[in-house]
Chain A
Amino acid sequence: MITISNFLWALAAIILAPAVGALISGADRKLTAWLQGRVGPPVYQPFLDIIKLLSKEKSIVNSRQIICVLVYLLSSMAAVFLFFLKSDLLLIFFVLTIGAVSFIMGAMSAPSPYSQVGAQRELIQVLTYEPLLLLSFVGFFLVTGSFNISHILDWEEPLLLSMPLIYAALGFALTIKLRKSPFDISASHHGHQEIVKGSLTEYSGPQLAMVEIAHWYEIILILGIFALFWSTSVPAMLIFLSITYIAEILIDNLVARSTWRWMIAHVWPVGLGLVTANYILILAVF
């Protein structure tokens, strides 16, 4: 809904989201380091990384990469903007797709083995989480009767109570989006990857910075979607989000990376099963 307050919220979100995303990313690294028995970089390290990357010389394999990264960044910004504008969830889903697609195209445009393997794996990842995300949004619709975020936020009780299984299915999508084990198949967050940096291999300098910033926007967006599961009180929402994110970090450190075959073969049946079971619950019980 376009109201003045929503519009201002959205503008503020566009400006602040990278900063918040960077802080979350930094906290992520600090916590991971603590779990792994290291000291780890300071929490504000991502800012330093971005500043360093932005100041580097532009070094690209072909001109399409610039356009693809720019489109990725713009679409992530657009998705966050639309989210804080409290607009339609489905629309946000499709805007996210632009970014994912353009990122894959950028990776596929580079004639490098690592980039190609990473791009194909990224394609499978997108194939895996897209239906789950879309069907979770349909779950929101089935409970509240609308895809519109302002309407969903008006729901009196926390949606987690009516959509617990969808929350679990969405957890798969969160793991894939945040590039955490076991689904960090195409471009792992950390340095350990058998294909160098996978789909991100051929990006460096300002382009890599833009990819990183777009990734932060996506983190904010997907955490925002999770926030819809408990939108009744702000402190509870923050606790809920922290628990979810810490669970992700825990899983990341506990589990090894899977193959794409394993990912599709297991995430789809389990995810779709959870979603369908939740639909039956919603339609039958609530």
Chain B
Amino acid sequence: MNIESLSALLILLPVFMALTGFATNLTFLRAVAAGMAAVLVSASAALFINGPFAFEPSSHIAPWHSIFSLADFVLLGIMLIIGIRYKHKLISILVIGQILPLILIKFSAQKTHSFEASIAADHLSLMMIMIVCVVGSFIVLYATEYMRRHAMKMDSPPLHTGLFFFFLILFLGAMNGLLLSNNLLWMFFFWELTTLCSFFLIAHDQTDLALANALKALWMNLLGGVLFIWAIYLLHISSLPLEIHQLTKMGSFQILLLPAALLCLAAFTKSAQLPFQSWLTGAMVAPAPVSALLHSSTMVNAGVFLILKLSPIYQGTPLASYLAILGALTFIYTSAIALTQNNAKKILAYSTIGSLGLIIACAGIGTPEAYSAAMLLILFHAVAKALLFMGVGHIEHLIQSKNIEDMWGLMERFPRVSLLLVFGMISMFLPPFGALISKWMAVHAAARLPIVVIMLALGSAFTVTYWTRWAGMIVNSFNSEQNEQKIKSPLFIDIPLTVMAGLGLGLSILIIPVYWCLTLPMLPIVFPEFAVVPRSGALMENIGAFMVYPAFLIIGFTLLIMRKKRSQKSVNPVSRPYYSGLDPKDQNTPGFTDPLGNFISFRSENYYFKKHLPPERINTAVNAVALGFIILLMVASL
């Protein structure tokens, strides 16, 4: 198979397979999903092994450009209909704001662009395509089981669930298309297609809240789309090429800065950065597969992907500094607010937005180290968050609650899922896992910019707090002797979760080869001065220390396994907790009998600092600050 057909496969296969989402037979659907997963994974792996490429799809097969133009208008028409149907003026205005420049571009008598390579991929794109295909496929498999229960709970007709799968699988194709597009117009189409899929998926439950949040997500993403298409228009009227790799080869020209700034702002809306973060937190009403796929691993990564791609254009300009500040601001703000949340999915949402802010800060810092940190962070964050969202979704079905206060002692009730969940949390912020190594590289790179590094330090401390708190709750043992039947997780939930955990672990252990293969090839392209001699960055200098890591991991694991084996042989004297000598009710229930003879059972809650960090007021203040910085950013690129 050649590159062209592989790329076409990656984009078009999910688009056509989306129709099988309507199949009612679960086994058939699972078989199809598994088959598609296998094909996508191997295709993306083949593409990755092959390396970077660029080509222009031959117009003998089909008039691609015309097809995309037509599809663009159809898409915008659909969104206009949505705006009209739900009587949402802002959406309609924004859609018209997109149709206008599109018409101007398409039907202007000016210049017809000759596209050199509409489809291209460098290592960044190839890495993200692998993420989409691997993580995305497993999430689709997870969704087959999750949606079965969800449909039972919500009592929805099969057609409804079929529509869900249609958009979920279609989304994979749209995402692949976005990542593969070098042509800005094509990328715009796929960008808006993901927006549309996101709208339908968030609105799936058809409750008032879901609809309202879906519309909010829609208009914010449409705002990004408006900025996107106007950026293309600006490039068009300056007769600049509309292809990303040609633009980046030009370097930082003054004239490119304004379109780049507009594209970066579009990316901000897609990645739910300040001040556009509320659509992502609102999108958490969607079913868990949506949160896992769109709103943590793939769609929101499209924004940071674009920002990283455009890096050669804004390197060293004030635009980069503002990006760094905005990213760091988002990171610290979302980490602080996550501390006040007790809704599991909201915590994960804020954590996602924070990680994306960190990636954007790295992009803004603009050293090779920071760029590598950003790439690695995308990779590890996607895997860990997918695991966490899938796990939380499953637990939500098991305990009927999204409140983390209901997750006390979860490990005693559902050991396997809890273990995977705790593993996911730990892999987000502790060494030697990849997410932390990336954060370490990011702080290394940011250390020259005191403002950014102060925000990163504070944000990092906040993240440690809320993850540790949550993990600590789960490993609690207050209901240890409950004779609840240890429920076995369904296979299609177990496998995706375990594979994600295994992937996270494996990639972390293999971080040095990952760094060599993924990020090092990108650096000479993005940073031409880096080219000839492989300069030592923090990772390479400390490669000695990193060799120590696997050793410690192995020793640690061996010790733990030895411990486990020994403890299984001898009976562990389990003692009751200390209650100042007050009488117990019985040996097994934690709690004590108070002086009036009532039994006080164990109950603990976390402190949410809601008085110290009032979410609404801080929200308004920080949004205003972010808006101010964005205005400064725009002014700096004029």
Contacts and interface: CB of A to CB of B under 8 A. Distances in A.
A211 interface: no
Given A59-B573, A88-B538, A123 B465 contact: yes
Nearest to A101: B468
A63 B541 CA distance: 39
B591 to A, nearest CB: 8
Contact of A70 (B426, B436, B545, B559): B559
A217 interface: no
A101 B433 CA distance: 15
B560 A67 contact: yes
Given A120-B606, A123-B469, A135-B453, A95 B477 contact: no
Contact of A202 (B464, B465, B578): B578
A98 B430 contact: yes
Interface string B478-491: 10100000000000
Contacts of A98: 430-431
B464 A97 contact: yes
B454 A272 contact: yes
Interface in B577-609: 577-580, 590, 602, 604, 606-607
Given A59-B575, A61-B477, A108 B454 contact: no
Interface stretch (A31-39, A79-87, A185-193): A79-87
A62 B480 contact: yes
A85 B547 CA distance: 12
- In this complex, the interface size class of chain B, counting residues with CB under 8 Å from chain A, is 35 or more
Interface stretch (B76-84, B119-127, B272-280, B455-463): B455-463
A61 B574 contact: yes
Contacts of A1: 544
B552 A91 contact: no
Given A112-B577, A127-B465, A138 B475 contact: no
Per DSSP, are chain A's interface residues mostly helix, strand or loop, or mixed? Answer: helix
Interface in A230-279: 272, 275-276, 279
A112 B473 contact: no
A58 B575 CA distance: 9
A78 B436 CA distance: 16
B160 interface: no
Contacts of A104: 468, 472
B579 A71 contact: no
B340 to A, nearest CB: 13
Contact of A78 (B476, B480, B552, B576): B552
B535 interface: no
A94 B577 contact: no
B444 interface: yes
B464 A126 contact: yes
A216 interface: no
Contacts of B436: 94
B480 to A, nearest CB: 6
Contacts of B63: none
B497 interface: no
Contact of A85 (B473, B480, B548): B548
Nearest to B408: A111
A126 B576 CA distance: 28
Contacts of A166: none
A60 interface: yes
A66 B411 CA distance: 16
Contacts of A119: 472
A131 interface: yes
Contacts of A67: 560, 563
Contact of B567 (A61, A66, A131): A66
B443 interface: yes
B574 A60 contact: yes
B577 A202 contact: yes
A276 B475 contact: no
Interface string B35-71: 0000000000000000000000000000000000000
A110 B477 contact: yes
A7 B458 CA distance: 33
Nearest to A57: B573
Interface stretch (A43-51, A140-148, A175-183): A140-148
B447 A138 contact: yes
Nearest to A279: B450
A196 interface: yes
Nearest to A1: B544
A116 interface: yes
A41 interface: no
Given A97-B464, A120-B607, A64 B541 contact: no
A97 B574 CA distance: 28
A87 B567 CA distance: 36
Contacts of B473: 108
A3 B91 CA distance: 63
Nearest to B552: A78
A276 B454 contact: yes
A142 B447 contact: yes
A63 B447 contact: no
B440 A61 contact: no
Given A88-B542, A108-B476, A131 B468 contact: no
Contact of A62 (B443, B447, B469, B477): B477
A74 interface: yes
Nearest to A113: B579
Nearest to B590: A111
A266 to B, nearest CB: 14
A123 B431 CA distance: 18
A111 B471 contact: no
B572 interface: yes
14 contacts: A57-B573, A66-B563, A70-B563, A74-B552, A82-B548, A88-B545, A90-B444, A98-B431, A105-B475, A111-B577, A112-B579, A119-B472, A130-B460, A135-B453
Interface of B: 409, 411, 426, 429-431, 436, 440, 443-444, 447-448, 450, 453-454, 457-458, 460-462, 464-465, 467-469, 471-473, 475-478, 480, 538, 541-542, 544-545, 547-548, 552, 555-556, 559-560, 563, 567, 572-580, 590, 602, 604, 606-607
The 5 closest A-B pairs by CB, nearest first: A108-B472, A112-B577, A2-B544, A111-B478, A62-B477
Given A94-B440, A147-B538, 5 more contacts: A67-B563, A130-B460, A130-B461, A131-B461, A134-B443
